[in-house]
A and B are shown apart, each in its own frame.
Chain A
Amino acid sequence: MDVRLTTEQQALRDSAAQVVDRLGPGTVRGLGDVERAGRLDAAVAASGWRELRVPPDGRTPLASAVEAAVVAEELGRGLADVPFLGPTLAAELRRLAGAPPAGAPETVALASSLAAAAAVDARAVPSDAVAVDARGATAALVLLPDEAGHALGTVALGPVGVGTDLTRPGAAADPASTATRVEGPGCRPLTGDDLAAWTALGLALDCADLVGTMRGSVDLAVGYASIRRQFGRPIGSFQAVQHLLADAHVLTEGSRSAARHAAWAVDALAPGDALAAAAAAKAYCARAARTACETAIQVHGGAGNTWECLAHVYLRRALLSTAVLGGVGASLDRVAAHHGIGGGGGLR
């Protein structure tokens, strides 16, 4: 056992950090800077990070889920308004289904609860499918249930719209479209294990993004507490404020340990075990992230409750990461089912 990041993984983390520090939004106003966002997107496109789960040999991904998680954490920390989760999950679905690579930028569509992949009837209008992280995507993958398991389909997307998360807009499936089955010589039906492994990857990336948003929001709040003065002293010198921030930091460190294991488990453990590990990490990270992001708002006082303060942007990003593929309740259900103390098999 050696759970340190390798030298290569550290280098990947550093280069992702440099890109988001240079080209991330930085401020709430920066979110509206289309030219900057375009340069960030170009930098991420050039890096190849969105293709980490594409299999050069048709089967084995270019990089493990740990590398994908390393990138996700830095993108979360820097509130990167650039697609990553969606394209990565789409590439993974295609890999698991033996489908050819996407011809155009795509993401995945989830059920309206966001807790699972959208499963649709190919002949019907996929009205409740929601594409996440859909900026730049022209289509989204959906599941087409059939006798053998699930086939992959694509649906066209309507225009992107900002939801809770100001950095990662979604899109509804185009109501005028129907799903098109993805065909190819290597295509095979997706099994329950495939979907468990895919969900484990999605949850692990959510966890990494949550750890990043926690780090970013705690850094923001610590910086503010060190300069904001009341009663003639920096507010960060008061124990009441210090203890809030200390707890947020400790939650971040615990989340980082859980998230790191979840990312490793995706490629190292059997799908059911990987999913259970990811669900345990997701429950922990999601609850921790909400607390840490709320703490950042609290420490900013009145300023933290204004639109111009970045603290709510972190919270909003954390809340979407929490919802994608199952939040606290759904994750706890999965953990309970895995240990034989809860009904059902959890969501798949």
Chain B
Amino acid sequence: MDFGDAPAEAEFRLRLRAWLEVHNPGLPTSSTDDEYWAGQAAWHQSLYDGGFFGVTWPTAIGGQDLPSVYDVIVDEELAAAGAPARPSLGYLVEGILEHGNGEVQARFLPGIVNGRDRWCQGFSEPDAGSDLASLRTRADRDGDEYVLTGHKVWTSYSDDADWCLVLARTDHDVARHRGISAFALPMRQPGVEQRPLPMINGITKEFGEVLLDGARVPDVNMIGRPGEGWPLAMTIVSHEREPHELGFAGRYAKQVKDLVALVKADPGRYGGEEVRDLTWAIVESEMLRMHVCRRLSDRLDGIVHGPEGSVDKLLMTWTEQAVGHAALSIGGARATGSDDTLMKVYLYSRSQSVMGGTSQIQRNLVAGRILHLPAS
């Protein structure tokens, strides 16, 4: 058992560290500043071109086939350098790798991995949140195309996206889980209207709703077979629940580092309660870093992703919310003034217990599928 770097890992780490000295774009954190999105695509492409993004994915789609523990090194070094976290795309890649045919993979995955194509994920609807299988967006066949009609909401990054991985109902005569298919929908077309949704912390670039009114998608853009949308969605959300897929462990480490620097710069200003809240955030984010190391090491055995993603999601949520509480404690509420970055960190942290499946749903999954408690 070894948390340390093997020689090849140490070499990779030093190479990344040196690269970051030149290429760190100094962007603000995505969750607190719309400015991040202006530079996000360039950052993704730069990280990829430097050889530090998607390194654990297959070479056929632009990865380097490295063991998954290399993602930990990337996250740690990005955080240490104060650079933005890795763009969050792993769940899309894993979903298409598992369910898309060879042609679909070859057409879409390289552009996702190298950052040239921007994607969002159209799952939730106004009446289909936790109960995703009740979604009502429909895809009706018209020659060699499908025509999509419906309303997607709480869609992350929808306004920057070229493509949307959208779930829609293609069969109305079967059990509701079985009638759903998945498509790669081109976003820039007349039948797609995208509206930003300001989040509670005021940022407008992250969240959106997408209205589909006669949007067209070629049938060859279906991902998986007709009716395979539900298993694909389950693959994606199970990956979405793992902190390393999202690079979130690195984001928390960066936020904690920034908060520590604030307190060290003006120690007289902060009392015992502020320091205590920040110390808990350090403890939680260190725990999560070790937990990610453990999960990624388990992958060396080829362990399949099961309900453990729900454990990871809850740990990730508690960590983000501990960091959020530290930010709140140190930043405090203000009567006036515009520099409210720490309040934004705090308010954004409330979304972590909802996105990718609420904490209540994760607890149901842990109770039923890991602890094997009787069905409710």
Contacts and interface: CB of A to CB of B under 8 A. Distances in A.
B298 interface: yes
Q: Among the interface residues A226, A234, A280, which one has the most CB atoms of the partner chain B within 10 A?
A: A280
B120 to A, nearest CB: 29
Given A2-B300, A237-B376, A242-B364, A222 B260 contact: no
B176 interface: no
Interface in B163-213: none
Contacts of B9: 1
Contacts of A247: 314, 363
B293 to A, nearest CB: 5
B276 A268 contact: no
Contacts of A222: 371-373
Interface stretch (A125-133, A136-144, A249-257): A249-257
B329 to A, nearest CB: 12
B179 to A, nearest CB: 28
A246 B279 contact: no
Interface in B326-376: 360, 362-364, 366-368, 370-376
A260 interface: yes
Interface in A233-271: 233-234, 236-239, 241-243, 245-247, 249-250, 253-258, 260-261, 264-265, 268
Given A3-B294, A242-B376, A249-B311, A284 B364 contact: no
Contact of A260 (B264, B290, B363): B290
B366 A250 contact: yes
A249 B290 CA distance: 17
A341 interface: yes
B367 A242 contact: yes
Interface in A296-326: none
B367 A280 contact: no
A123 interface: no
Contacts of B287: 254-255, 257-258, 280-281, 284
A6 interface: yes
Interface string A95-120: 00000000000000000000000000
Contact of A246 (B72, B297, B371): B371
Contact of A1 (B283, B286, B297): B297
B282 interface: yes
A66 B279 contact: no
B297 A332 contact: no
Interface string B244-264: 000000000000000010011
Given A9-B1, A222-B371, A268-B3, A257 B290 contact: yes
Contacts, number: 158
Interface residues of A, dominant DSSP = helix
Q: Among the interface residues B278, B280, B374, which one has the most CB atoms of the partner chain A within 10 A?
A: B374
Contacts of A256: 294
Chain A, interface residues (CB within 8 Å), range: 35 or more
Nearest to B263: A341
Interface residues of B, dominant DSSP = helix
Nearest to B315: A254
Contacts of B318: 254
A226 B275 contact: no
Interface in B290-330: 290-291, 293-294, 296-298, 300-301, 311, 314-315, 318
A239 B290 contact: no
Given A2-B1, A336-B279, A341 B297 contact: no
B3 A261 contact: yes
Contacts of B263: 341
A341 B290 contact: no
Nearest to A257: B291
A15 B14 CA distance: 41
Interface string A7-19: 0010000000000
Contacts of B364: 239, 242-243, 246
B5 A249 contact: no
B283 A3 contact: no
B267 interface: yes
A32 to B, nearest CB: 31
B260 A3 contact: no
B375 A237 contact: yes
Contact of B373 (A236, A254, A335, A342): A236
Contacts of A347: none
Contact of A2 (B69, B275, B288, B373): B69
B4 interface: yes
Given A249-B370, A261-B290, A264-B1, A332 B283 contact: yes
Interface in B112-137: none
The 5 closest A-B pairs by CB, nearest first: A242-B367, A257-B291, A246-B366, A246-B363, A236-B373
8 contacts: A1-B2, A246-B367, A250-B315, A254-B315, A257-B291, A283-B280, A335-B282, A336-B278
Interface of A: 1-6, 9, 66, 222, 225-226, 233-234, 236-239, 241-243, 245-247, 249-250, 253-258, 260-261, 264-265, 268, 277, 280-281, 283-284, 332, 335-336, 339-342
Interface of B: 1-6, 9, 69, 72, 260, 263-264, 267, 275-276, 278-280, 282-284, 286-288, 290-291, 293-294, 296-298, 300-301, 311, 314-315, 318, 360, 362-364, 366-368, 370-376
Given A340-B264, A341-B260, 10 more contacts: A1-B69, A3-B297, A233-B374, A237-B373, A239-B376, A245-B367, A246-B314, A258-B287, A260-B294, A336-B278
